[in-house]
Amino acid sequence: MAEPARRVPPPELSEEDTAMLAGDAGEAAALCLRLVVALARVLGARRLISVDSAHVDGCLYHGMAGLDFAERLVGLGARVAVPTTLNVGSLDLLHPGLVRADAGTTTNARRLMAAYTAMGCTPTWTCAPYQLTHRPEFGRHIAWAESNAIVFANSVLGARTDRYGDFLDISAAITGRVPYAGLHLDRNRRATVRLDCAAVPRALLREDVAWGLLGHLAGQTAGSGVPVLTGIPDDVTEDQLKAFGAAAASSGGVGLFHVVGITPEASTLDAVAGPGIETVHVGADRIRAIRDRLSTARSSRLDALCLGTPHFSVSEFERLSRLLADGPGFHPAVRAYVATSRAVLDEAERRGFAEPVRRAGADIVVDTCTYITPILAPGVRTVMTSSGKWAWYAPGNIGVDVVVGSMAECVASARAGVIVRDEELWAKQH
């Protein structure tokens, strides 16, 4: 979203747009299209385009303003015009005891979630809508909010969305229109910096945690640009790309990345590289340095474990349940939380991956996430996670100290009650 705003003409509107602004589709659609047009002017868009679907992040409670906006729209009779999924809210509606928000916040968060459902959005309550059955198709325009969902849709699915946020997301859903700008345009989808990972030990790249750390580096390096990775093995998983994108979108403003030979627009480096892009060479030492910088904890004693940011997938549940099979449960002093969506939890239950996680002592949280709402038990200071995104945001959001480690290190540490490292994994060579 870095188009110049200087002296650009307002966007050309279609007949339908003009009619909608005049109120033909109702007052809510008129208000929402005015917002879309205001954004189009800022972005210097020449026109608006239609989207296939929307993913709305506005259902997470940040205060009265978001609730006032949603309830204003409901009051004006708003209905979404395209299939629309919902991001996490501030509550676990299925397990109400898990979130310890005060009564006022709980009431408002519930009202907000109800308002978005009333507008016809599907109550998916997940930051990982790409794990649901209906995925956007390659090359199609969509309007997605939530930074990790945006970067996954653009990069891994090859759909096209700009970095939308609260208010615009629901406005796009209600009008079906967005500015033709940003990552909808071919010219903004070229890579701006290359991260060559050929020197990273393959064993490290098999660990999801390494992808979160690599993503953190990519975000710092690319800013709001488009990183491209080279030297990546063929067997990279969607969970790893999820971890990479989520971290890159939080340490920087990355809305799209490419992996040569893996992601759909990057059959070759030439297919995506912008003119004269620089190459940054990444080795195990850089990845370990980021691990150590994100690990703010001074204590070796562990109070809690948080997994599932972005929401745990079925394959991650499978991996965790295997790590937990036949071993002891978690240390009695360690609280463990796994965040996921209702849909993934249903599938994990069906396939027998959820029960071993609960048996080991973990709480499975749905509809929300452990770093945006008060879930962690009082007194929790040191928390281990495999997520680069969780590690980046949790200290500021909920005031805890963090240790970053692989899923196996997380399990070993949560069992021992102290931080356990697999030093061989983090060594320079294997």
> Shortest approach of other proteins to residue 268 CB, angstroms?
31
Regarding 146 and contact with other proteins (CB under 8 A), the answer is yes
Residues 153-172 that bind other proteins (CB under 8 A): 162-169
Phi/psi at 6 (5° precision):
-75, 120
* Stretch of residues binding other proteins (CB under 8 A), selected from 143-151, 238-246, 345-353, 380-388: 143-151
Rg (CA), the chain: 22
SS (H, E, C) 356-384: HHHHCCEEEEECCCCCCCCCCCCCCCEEE
Residue from 120, 123, 201, 253 binding other proteins (CB under 8 A): 253
- With respect to other proteins, which residue has the nearer C-beta, 181 or 410? 181
Residues 36-65 that bind other proteins (CB under 8 A): 38-39, 42-43, 57-58, 60, 62-65
Measured distance CA(238)–CA(315) in Å, rounded? 9
For residue 280, the 8-state DSSP code is: E
What mask of x and - would describe binding to other proteins in positions 379 to 418, judged by CB under 8 A?
Answer: -------------xx-xxx---------------------
* Stretch of residues binding other proteins (CB under 8 A), selected from 248-256, 274-282, 302-310, 323-331: 248-256
Asked if omega into 332 is within 30° of 0 (cis), the reply is: no
* Contact criterion met (CB below 8 Å) for 363 and 81: no
Question: What is the biggest distance separating any 2 CA atoms in the chain, rounded to whole angstroms?
Answer: 67
What is the CB-side half-sphere exposure of residue 323 using CA atoms within 13 A? Answer: 18
Question: In 54-86, which positions are buried (b, 16+ CB within 10 angstroms) versus exposed (e)?
Answer: bbbbbbbbeeeebbebbbebbeeebbbbbbbbb
For the chain, the first-to-last Cα distance in angstroms comes to: 42
> Shortest approach of other proteins to residue 403 CB, angstroms?
15
- With respect to other proteins, which residue has the nearer C-beta, 308 or 356? 308
- With respect to other proteins, which residue has the nearer C-beta, 227 or 361? 227
Residues 82-141 that bind other proteins (CB under 8 A): none
Polymer length of the chain? 430
What mask of x and - would describe binding to other proteins in positions 273 to 312, judged by CB under 8 A?
Answer: -----------------------x----------------
- With respect to other proteins, which residue has the nearer C-beta, 5 or 94? 5
Sites of contact with other proteins (CB under 8 A): 1-7, 31, 35, 38-39, 42-43, 57-58, 60, 62-66, 68-69, 72, 145-147, 150, 162-169, 223-224, 250, 252-253, 296, 392-393, 395-397
